[in-house]
Chains A and B, each alone.
Chain A
Amino acid sequence: NAGVTQTPKFQVLKTGQSMTLQCAQDMNHNSMYWYRQDPGMGLRLIYYSASEGTTDKGEVPNGYNVSRLNKREFSLRLESAAPSQTSVYFCATFNEGWNSPLHFGNGTRLTVT
Chain B
Amino acid sequence: DAKTTQPPSMDCAEGRAANLPCNHSTISGNEYVYWYRQIHSQGPQYIIHGLKNNETNEMASLIITEDRKSSTLILPHATLRDTAVYYCIVKYSGSARQLTFGSGTQLTVLP
A interface residue numbers (CB < 8 A to B) = 4, 30-31, 33, 35, 37, 41-45, 48-51, 56, 58-59, 88, 90, 92, 94, 96-97, 99, 101-107, 109
Cβ–Cβ contact B98 & A90, under 8 A: no
Cβ–Cβ contact B41 & A103, under 8 A: no
Contact of B95 among A4, A96, A109 (CB under 8 A): A96
B interface residue numbers (CB < 8 A to A) = 32, 34, 36, 41-46, 49, 85, 87, 91-96, 98-104
Give bound CA distance, A104 to B32, whole Å: 18
**Closest beta carbon of chain A to B63's beta carbon, Å:** 18
Give bound CA distance, A41 to B101, whole Å: 10
**Closest beta carbon of chain B to A32's beta carbon, Å:** 9
| A96-B93, A96-B95 known; A102+B44 contact, CB < 8 A | yes
Contact of B96 among A4, A43, A48 (CB under 8 A): A48
Q: Summarize A's interface: helix, strand, loop or mixed.
A: strand
Residues of A near B94 (CB, < 8 A) are 96-97
B45 (CB) vs chain A CBs: closest residue: A104
Residues of B near A35 (CB, < 8 A) are 101
Cβ–Cβ contact A106 & B99, under 8 A: no
Cβ–Cβ contact A102 & B96, under 8 A: no
Residue among A31, A44, A102 with most chain B CB within 10 A: A102
Residues of B near A97 (CB, < 8 A) are 93-95
Contact of B104 among A42, A45, A88 (CB under 8 A): A42
Cβ–Cβ contact A88 & B41, under 8 A: yes
